[in-house]
Amino acid sequence: MAEQPEQPQIYLITPPEIELSSFPQRLAAVLDSQPVACVRLALATRDEDRLARAADACREVTHARDIALVIDNHLMLVERLGLDGVHLTDGARSVRAARKELGADAIVGAFCGTSRHDGMTAGEAGADYVSFGPVGTTALGDGSVAGREVFEWWSQMIELPVVAEGALDAPLMAELAPVTDFFGVGEEIWSTEDPAAALGDLVAAMG
């Protein structure tokens, strides 16, 4: 079994909508406030032009700080936009194809909801990490929650890195810190006045 890192790393998720005139500065301020392992461009739009402009703006900020930038689902845009990989939201289904398309060096991650089986299948298919969630209560989705037992089991049985995401708060971060490798933090901070300060509060809660 792999040793757990002393403290989980932050995996930053963009809001579903961003204002290109201001978001790069907000992103830079957050990245300069705390160590961040990776940033995920998770926009709601499917418009390729908007995605490309957002990716260019975010990539400038992340790559200047030597931080990887991945995109939700849009496999065909990864190489075109000079991104570091893809985050797949359909569990294990597309992992093998994504790995084949992007090659060994790209980051391929898979969101697996609350399904350990999906997580294991994604790992076997070549994912670099899996994420489970939501870990907190949210109006989105079907009401199921990825509880501590999912992460506890994963950290004991599986070496592949795991991300806890979705409706995080300080008590949940404290509870899950011993059993996860990354926290996927997004709307929890972007919906506040000062995202950098909000992230600082969550990081402090890890103990």
Average model confidence (pLDDT) across the chain: 95
> Is CATH 3.50.50.60 what the domain over 9-205 is classified as, yes or no?
no
Q: What is the pLDDT of residues 121-144, one digit of tens each?
A: 999 999 999 999 999 988 767 789
| pTM over cut 0.85 | yes
Per-residue pLDDT at 188 exceeds 70: yes
Q: What average pLDDT score do residues 32-52 get? A: 97
CA angle 104, 105, 110 (to 5 degrees): 75
